[in-house]
Every structure is written in C-alpha cells, then in structure tokens.
Amino acid sequence: MTDDVLIRANGPIGHISLNRPKALHALTLPMCHAMSAALSEWADDDSIKAVILDHAEGRGFCAGGDIAFLRDSALNDGGVSGRKFFHDEYQLNHQMFTYGKPIVAFMDGITMGGGVGISMPAKYRVATENTRLAMPETGIGLFPDVGGGWYLSRLGQRLGQFLALTGARLDGSECLWTGLATHYVPHEMLEGLKARIHDHPDRIAGVLSEPVGTPPKARIEANADKIAKHFGSDEYEDILASLDAAADAGDTWAATERNTLGTKSPQTCKVALRQLAESAQLSDFADNMAMEYRIASRVLTRPDFAEGVRAVIVDKTGDPKWNPATPEEVTRDLIDAIFAPLPAGEEWKPLAN
C-alpha cells in the first residue's frame, strides 16, 4: 500500500482519501492499485454499504495522472511503463463504473484528467464552489481518456466535444448543469454530509438532496447555443471554419475559442472527435476502455505528448511545436493507425472478478 492514499473502514462506510497534496493528489500507479484492492475487499464485505471518495487536504481533489512519469516513460522506455500505468488505471476506472455498492465522490477542488476518471464512475458526484473540472489533455498532446469518451459523448448539445477540444474548466454549478455532477453542496457543509451518510448509508440520495441552498447560475448555459452550433461537426476543420467565420463577423466568444484551439495539438483534437463519435455508439463501458487503451498506447509515444508536456508543464514556455503542425497534415491514415486494434495479447481487459 502507499501513504499517498488513505484507506479505512468507518462502520458501514469504506473511505478513500487521496493524500498527495503537493501534487494536487495526482494519481500514481501504487495509488491506483491501493484503491482497487480496497474496492475489491469491500465488495465482498457485507458490513460495508457505501464508499466515500475524497481528498485529505489541499485545494485539489485530483489533478490527474502522474504526467511526469508518463513523459519519462515515453522518452526512456518506449512507453512500456506508461502503458502499464494506463492499463491498470483504466481497470480501476472500469471497476468503479461497475461497482455494486454506491460510491460518493466529493469533487471539492481541482478535478482534471485522472481525477475525472475516478469521480465520473461514482453514482453520486458532489461538486462545490471549489470545483474546477476539466479534461485539458489536448493541450499536452494526450486525449480525454479514463472514460472521457464515454462521459463527454453523452452530455448532449455538443458540450462534450467543446470540453474535449478546448479543455475548458467548469465550476461546480456548471458541473451540475451539464450533469457531470449529481449534486452541488457548499464546502462548509461537506463534513456534516459525510457524517449523515455514515449514519444513513441506505439513503444517500436523500441526504445529499437535503436543503443546501441554490447553486449559482451556470455560466456555460449562456453559450450553449453557440457551442452546439460551432462544435456541431465531427470534422475538426469544420469546427475551425465555423469559429473563424463567426470571429470574422465580430463574435468575441468565437474568436476566444478559436484562439484557444490554436494552442492545442491538431492530432489530439482529431483523435478526441473520433473518440467521442465512436464512444457514443458503444453500449459497454469495457469496450470504451479497450478503445481508449489502444489510443493511449499509440499517442504516448507520438511526438506531441512529450513535446506538449515539455512546453506546458516542464519548461512552462507555452510554445509546443506540434507534429503534425496543422489539422490538414493529420491524415485519416494516421488517425486510423492510432485507433487500430493492438496485437494479440496486448489488448486491455477488465480486472478479473
């Protein structure tokens, strides 16, 4: 086990608290293994009625996966250890998605990438005024994985495509409005709610729905029509052209979003659009994770990932040199190769029961 995640049983509640505050609780492989082992143990323990997932301290719920580790793998071991990380992290995501007992995720803080992957499978997803949820992977040459294709493709109104491409951050009320959160609760009420869930694990929905005030108006709602219009195509060039035309006509929102997309990896943006389109057609979450593992296995060692992490996270220069450099240079053959089945014996599989 690891001190980076605190695991304990508290009466009828299994409690998992992420505990890497200096790294905003970013997930490491030992953390994923510890969480998975605890969930497996509690699944067979009749005294455990529900699971609470939160963070021990600090301003982040979970900032994502261990990006520095993944970049090191891409540069130094051909992606072998990075693929192992993705494989086992995705097993945890699937385990949570199919878990037989209710999980309550308290997304009280920064919730990005891998943090989305461990909160979205929860039956109850609680946002607060501190929540900042995003899938910012297009900015580092990765893609919205950990089940992102499944969740984002099912939001409707092309909100998922907008979030996947731009990496836009949602606050707590926006999470509730989009459906990414099931409840909105002020931070100051959380400890009391956790105590109430402990006392009444059989009626979590009722506890979370007790009067907590009205959340602020979701800002994204004001732009929902524009998002549906400009992000309506699965062809990346169509989206760019739509935003360009609106920006040329004086739409400052369109100009801002077009400029944002100009900083993203063209390869990743095309991958994300196809990922969401294919995820929307799937009926089994395991099939989605198998697809995302294929993508992850390929993009991990493509040039854009190491370069994106260098520019955005390591050197913080904000000047990634994408390869291919333009959307037009990202060919259908390249995307097909990224999505192609893996060799026999290398495909992703869920945890054995």
Q: Is residue 254 part of a domain?
A: yes
Q: Is residue 349 part of a domain?
A: no
Q: Is residue 346 part of a domain?
A: no
Residue 59 has pLDDT above 90, yes or no: no
Q: Is residue 345 part of a domain?
A: no
pLDDT digits (tens, 9 = 90+) for 267-295: 999 999 999 999 999 999 999 999 999 99
What is the value of pTM for the model shown?
0.96
| Nearest residue to 33 (alpha-carbon basis) of 69, 85, 108, 76 | 85
CATH number at residue 293: 3.90.226.10
- Model pLDDT, residue 90: 98
- As a whole number of angstroms, the distance between CA 182 and CA 168 comes to 20
Residue 249 has pLDDT above 70, yes or no: yes
Q: Which residues are catalytic?
A: 65, 114, 137, 145
Confidence band for 242, pLDDT divided at 50, 70 and 90:
very high
- Kindly state the average pLDDT of the residues 122-127: 98
Q: From residue 100, how far is each of 44, 194, 301 by CA, in Å?
A: 10, 20, 36
- Model pLDDT, residue 210: 85
Spatial contact of 12 and 5, defined as CB atoms under 8 Å apart: no
Residue 113 has pLDDT above 90, yes or no: yes
- Domain extent for 9: 5-339
Sign of the dihedral through C-alpha 43, 6, 198, 132: negative
pLDDT digits (tens, 9 = 90+) for 74-84: 999 999 999 99
Q: Is residue 199 part of a domain?
A: yes
Q: Is residue 284 part of a domain?
A: yes
Q: If you average pLDDT over every residue of the chain, what do you get?
A: 96
Q: Is residue 347 part of a domain?
A: no
Confidence band for 57, pLDDT divided at 50, 70 and 90:
confident
Spatial contact of 6 and 16, defined as CB atoms under 8 Å apart: yes
Which DSSP category does 9 fall into? E
- As a whole number of angstroms, the distance between CA 312 and CA 137 comes to 11
Continuous H helices in the chain: 29-43, 67-76, 80-97, 114-119, 148-153, 159-166, 172-178, 190-199, 204-208, 224-230, 236-248, 252-261, 266-279, 285-299, 303-309, 332-339
- As a whole number of angstroms, the distance between CA 344 and CA 218 comes to 46
- Kindly state the average pLDDT of the residues 194-215: 91
Q: Is residue 35 part of a domain?
A: yes
Confidence band for 136, pLDDT divided at 50, 70 and 90:
very high
What is the DSSP pairing of strand 170-171 with strand 5-10? Answer: unpaired
- Model pLDDT, residue 1: 59
Q: Structurally, how many domains does the chain consist of? A: 1
- Kindly state the average pLDDT of the residues 14-25: 95
pLDDT digits (tens, 9 = 90+) for 319-330: 999 999 999 999
